[in-house]
């Protein structure tokens, strides 16, 4: 089969399409003939040599795919060859075939195309596990979503809207903020010329955000803590603004607030299985009812993976970038 390999880490041209062995399928896994793979910011870091796959994972990039089941491991039940699925991966999605633990599969939701379904597993699992399972966002609460027009952000806005939360977002252009508004965001903040702490304070009569979903890390830590409401939860999922910063514990203590940081990729298989099961139970019905949809910016052929990475690096995407086989 063909897969995107990274012989030497570097810029987008480090991605090389090559002939590689077909993956072996363990007893608890299925083989998926890939139709499309989602491109995630983590793939850019892996390509640059900054984000090694967890032990046992494929060396090729790609954290989510859609496709058709082509073989079943000996102990797999509940799935058939020919089923159309999408899957959460620890790696290996930029390929024509990938072996996936059966517990990380979901059916392609009714009403979603096979290709577009590749935009779902990683973002939905990340948003559901962090915003709902961990930060426990409730109806009527306010959530601040940084990078609202990102793949993650476009899904977070929709799910927060469905439960009846009030949504604030940051983004870097008026066009991106308008896309966020159309998805359900109400408080729109251009981080290039507005201070999100000030805008949020004004919009919430001084209360702040009950939940913040943050992709920036160090650069925003102090301002995020200031922007939290009493009992607020700051969940950091990205480190685009660095990894080290001072934390004012007293500010946190006075608010009885929490700072949490998580990574989906490195979680044990059992935790991933629980997240995927929860997503299937709570989010899939919303997608099938048309209340939530994958937001796909553009699909590139697998052979043009470098161009897909450049698109994400340029920050011109609203929603997900995909690769098709």
Ligand X SMILES: NC(=O)c1ccc[n+]([C@@H]2O[C@H](COP(=O)([O-])OP(=O)(O)OC[C@H]3O[C@@H](n4cnc5c(N)ncnc54)[C@H](OP(=O)(O)O)[C@@H]3O)[C@@H](O)[C@H]2O)c1
**Contact characters 42-81, ligand X, x per CB under 6 A:** x---------------------------------------
Tell me which residues in 237-256 interact with ligand X (CB under 6 A).
237-238, 240
Tell me which residues in 176-205 interact with ligand X (CB under 6 A).
176, 191
Between 61 and 151, name the residue whose CB sits nearer to ligand X: 151
**Rounded to 5 degrees, what angle do the CA atoms 82, 291, 322 make?**
50
For 283, residues 6+ apart whose C-beta sits below 8 A from its C-beta are: 124, 128, 159, 292
**Contact region with ligand X (CB under 6 A), list: 13-21, 92-100, 107-115, 311-319:** 311-319
Calpha distance 221→62 (Å, rounded): 29
**Contact characters 256-275, ligand X, x per CB under 6 A:** ------xxx-----------
Pairing relationship of beta strands 16-19 and 29-39 according to DSSP bridges: unpaired
Between 207 and 219, name the residue whose CB sits nearer to ligand X: 219
**Contact region with ligand X (CB under 6 A), list: 26-34, 70-78, 142-150, 160-168:** 142-150
Task: Tell the burial category of 97 from Cβ atoms under 10 Å away from its Cβ (0-12, 13-18, 19+).
Answer: buried
Q: How many residues bind ligand X (CB under 6 A)?
A: 29
User: Which string of DSSP letters, residue by residue, matches 182-235?
Assistant: HHT--EEEETTTS-HHHHHHHHTTT--EEEEEES-THHHHHHHHHHEEEEEEEE
Nearest distance, CB of residue 248 and ligand X, angstroms:
20
The enclosing H or E element of 154 equals helix 151-163
Nearest distance, CB of residue 149 and ligand X, angstroms:
5
The enclosing H or E element of 277 equals helix 269-282
Residue selected from 40, 66, 103, 204 as contacting ligand X according to rule CB under 6 A: 40
**Contact region with ligand X (CB under 6 A), list: 28-36, 75-83, 204-212, 234-242:** 234-242
Nearest distance, CB of residue 14 and ligand X, angstroms:
18
Nearest distance, CB of residue 118 and ligand X, angstroms:
13
Residue selected from 46, 215, 224, 325 as contacting ligand X according to rule CB under 6 A: 215
Between 231 and 263, name the residue whose CB sits nearer to ligand X: 263
Find out whether 313 and 19 touch, Cβ atoms under 8 Å. no
In 61-148, which residue ranges form alpha helices assigned H by DSSP?
Answer: 121-127
- Residue 134's Cβ-side half-sphere holds a number of Cα atoms within 13 Å equal to 24
Tokens of 14: 């480090």
Between 23 and 147, name the residue whose CB sits nearer to ligand X: 147
Question: Which residues does residue 211 pair with via DSSP β-bridges, in sequence order?
Answer: 143, 233
Is 41 near ligand X (CB under 6 A)?
yes
Site residues (vs ligand X, CB under 6 A):
40-42, 122, 126, 146-147, 149-153, 170-173, 176, 191, 215-216, 237-238, 240, 262-264, 312, 315, 317
């Amino acid at each position: 089969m063909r897969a995107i390999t990274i012989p030497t880490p570097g810029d987008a041209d480090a991605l090389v399409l090559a002939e590689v062995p077909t993956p072996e399928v363990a007893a608890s896994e299925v083989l998926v003939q890939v139709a499309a793979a989602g491109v995630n910011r983590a793939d850019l870091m892996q390509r640059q040599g900054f984000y090694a796959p967890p032990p046992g994972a494929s060396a090729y990039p790609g954290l989510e795919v859609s496709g058709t089941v082509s073989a079943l491991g000996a102990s797999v039940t509940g799935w058939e060859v020919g089923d159309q699925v999408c899957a959460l991966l620890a790696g290996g999605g930029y390929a024509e075939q990938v072996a996936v633990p059966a517990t990380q599969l979901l059916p392609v939701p009714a009403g979603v195309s096979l290709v577009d379904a590749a935009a779902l597993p990683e973002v939905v699992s990340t948003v559901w596990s962090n915003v709902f399972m961990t930060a426990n966002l409730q109806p009527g609460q306010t959530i601040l979503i940084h990078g609202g027009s990102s793949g993650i952000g476009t899904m977070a806005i929709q799910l927060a809207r469905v439960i009846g939360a009030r949504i604030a977002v940051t983004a870097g252009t008026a066009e991106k903020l308008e896309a966020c508004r159309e998805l359900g965001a109400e408080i729109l903040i251009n981080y290039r010329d507005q201070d999100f702490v000030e805008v949020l304070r004004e919009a919430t009569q001084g209360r702040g955000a009950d939940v913040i979903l943050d992709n920036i890390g160090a650069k925003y830590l102090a301002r995020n803590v200031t922007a939290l409401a009493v009992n607020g939860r700051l969940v950091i999922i990205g480190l685009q603004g660095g990894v080290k910063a001072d934390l004012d514990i007293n500010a946190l203590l006075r608010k009885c607030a929490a700072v949490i940081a998580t990574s989906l990729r490195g979680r044990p298989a059992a935790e991933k299985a629980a997240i995927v099961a929860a997503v299937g139970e709570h989010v899939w019905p919303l997608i099938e009812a048309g209340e939530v949809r994958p937001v796909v910016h553009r699909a590139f052929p697998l052979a043009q993976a470098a161009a897909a990475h450049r698109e994400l690096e340029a920050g011109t995407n609203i929603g997900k970038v995909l690769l098709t086989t």
